[in-house]
């Protein structure tokens, strides 16, 4: 928007000089004005255009201010979440969805979704970009609500509706780098401050990070800069997975969290995660190879429908 306004103003600015010069040349040829008058006229045009040039710098700033104020209103208009204050932690959780529908404005994203995921199952989620994978996870995290349908977590204590309180059940690992500046140990303990050093090394081994951390001169005391500077993206992803395992939540969600790993390293990480048989795991992935570690797969189509298939690895 700002660049467009500046371009128009430059065209107007140059056109003003051309018009003033042509008009003055014509009037001189007819004897109506002198060269001095033409010089004065062009000087006045320059002053007017200088003011307009200042306006062209103000307009983009004004436009940005309007956009910022709109976004601020969007944030302040968000409804406050209601928490019940429950702190009980189930040992295992399953997921149940019945006839769940969700749309952004009028565009349907998820249509008539029905899921039955048992506690401890490993589930792959696949689909094209924009098919609704992220929306499905947002529903599980209670970051948004469906327009219709029923969704709940199944625990040993009974059925609990998916609501803000139920986020305490979940360890979520996104694709992006979520490590903070500080030592590796401090980053891991963000998931569980009371963990023992033995537990730290245990989750590092499960996440395929044990070897490279052990080889670092300072080991767990290695200091990372902002965004995990000093280690590779793949190493940062493995540390994030280790932190999620240390958190000891019954539902683990990996959102493209192994995208920076090669298939061999990814296989070692998934083998390690598979040892945690009490945890329900959901893997959002574009790699079909990951599905061999899954009991079920959710295939999301571009028309918003979700197909759940039970996988048989007997012939793998």
Express each pLDDT in 208-255 by its tens digit: 999 999 999 999 999 998 777 788 999 999 999 999 999 999 999 999
Unique residue bearing structure tokens 């609990």 = 160
pTM, to two decimals: 0.76
Q: Would you kindly state where each structural domain of the chain is located, as residue ranges?
A: 2-76, 93-310
What is the per-residue pLDDT across 64-90, written as a single tens digit (0 to 9) for each?
888 888 887 877 777 777 777 777 889
CA distance readout (Å), 59 to 3, 168, 181: 11, 47, 39
* Top-level class of domain 93-310: alpha beta
DSSP secondary structure of 165-228: GGGGGEEEE-SS----SEEHHHHHHTT-TT--HHHHHHHHHHTT-HHHHHHSTTGGGPEEBGGG
- Tens of pLDDT, residue by residue over 7-61, are 666 676 677 677 777 877 887 788 777 777 777 777 777 776 666 666 666 777 7
């Amino acid at each position: 928007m700002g660049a467009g306004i500046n371009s128009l103003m430059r065209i107007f600015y140059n056109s003003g000089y051309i018009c003033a010069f042509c008009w003055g040349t014509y009037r001189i040829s007819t004897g109506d004005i002198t060269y001095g008058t033409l010089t004065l006229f062009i000087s006045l045009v320059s002053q007017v255009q200088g003011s307009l040039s200042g306006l062209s710098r103000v307009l983009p700033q004004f436009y940005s201010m309007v956009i910022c104020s709109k976004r601020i209103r969007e944030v302040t208009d968000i409804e406050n979440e209601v928490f019940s204050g429950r702190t009980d932690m189930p040992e295992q959780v399953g997921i149940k969805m019945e006839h769940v529908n969700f749309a952004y404005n009028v565009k349907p994203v998820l249509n008539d979704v029905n899921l039955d995921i048992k506690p401890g199952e490993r589930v792959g989620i696949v689909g094209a970009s924009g098919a609704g994978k992220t929306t499905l996870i947002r529903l599980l995290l209670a970051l948004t609500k469906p327009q219709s349908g029923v969704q709940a977590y199944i625990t040993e204590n009974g059925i609990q509706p998916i609501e803000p309180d139920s986020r305490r059940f979940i360890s979520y690992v996104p694709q992006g780098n979520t490590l903070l500046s500080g030592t590796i140990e401090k980053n891991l303990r963000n998931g569980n401050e009371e963990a023992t050093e033995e537990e730290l090394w245990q989750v590092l081994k499960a996440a395929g990070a044990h070897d490279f951390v052990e080889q670092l001169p300072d080991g767990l005391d290695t200091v990372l800069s902002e965004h995990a500077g000093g280690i590779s993206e793949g190493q940062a992803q493995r540390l994030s997975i280790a932190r999620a395992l240390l958190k000891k939540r019954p539902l683990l969600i990996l959102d493209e969290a192994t995208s920076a790993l090669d298939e061999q390293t990814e296989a070692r990480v998934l083998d390690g995660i598979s040892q945690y048989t009490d945890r329900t795991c959901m893997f959002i992935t574009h790699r079909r190879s990951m599905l061999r570690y899954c009991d079920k797969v959710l295939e999301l189509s571009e028309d918003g429908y979700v197909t759940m298939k039970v996988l048989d690895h007997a012939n793998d």
